[in-house]
Amino acid sequence: MTGQTHERKWAEVEAKLPGYLETLLGSDVFGRGPGRKPPPREHGVYLFSESDTHLYVGRCGLTERAAKKGGGHSNFRTRLAGHTRPSSGHNQATFAWRLALEAIEGRFEGLPTIRAELQLDSRFRQEFLRQKERVTAMEFRVVEIPDDFESYVFEPYAALMLDTPYNSWATS
């Protein structure tokens, strides 16, 4: 591809972002809680909101692990389950993990700093479970974006435009 071709492709993706945001905000509300219907088995970008406050944007799609195994995309249903299932660990319920870390900040002495060890601490486990229950009660909206590159670009765009406080771009 030439530089002009890359610029044109980028401009095409960039032009779609406001429409994706409008679709995301206008999405039906899905969830695992009472009276909520499950989200579609598609992939793209999702949004967790609570009391009209947008909190966290995430994406689901083709993962490196699935690609290496010849597998398919993760989807909104499996991602929502990962965020909310009581048995989900720190690498699945990443939003609840952040909420739990915030909730325990300064409350306990001597907590482990390594994720795998922290997850075993009974005080933290209780808070982590409470936060997964909280996430279960949140509104879950989605926008299907079949192209993985476009969903990858849209996730930080949506987080920026919605000023979601729990998105982090730090590498793990």
Residue 10 DSSP SS3 = helix
pLDDT at residue number 64: 77
The span from the CA of 125 to the CA of 140, in Å, is 24
- Beta carbons of 19 and 150 less than 8 angstroms apart: no
- pLDDT reported for residue 67: 73
What's the pLDDT tens digit per position in 7-37?
999 999 999 999 999 999 999 999 987 789 9
pLDDT at 1: 62
Nearest to 46, CA basis, from 62, 19, 64, 28 = 28
Burial 127-144 (b: 16+ CB within 10 A, else e): bbbebbebbbebbbbbbb
- The token pair at 136 is 């279960």
**Whole-model pTM?**
0.91
Instruction: Break the chain into its structural domains and give their ranges.
Output: 3-162
What's the pLDDT at 111?
86
Cβ pair 142, 27 in contact under 8 A: yes
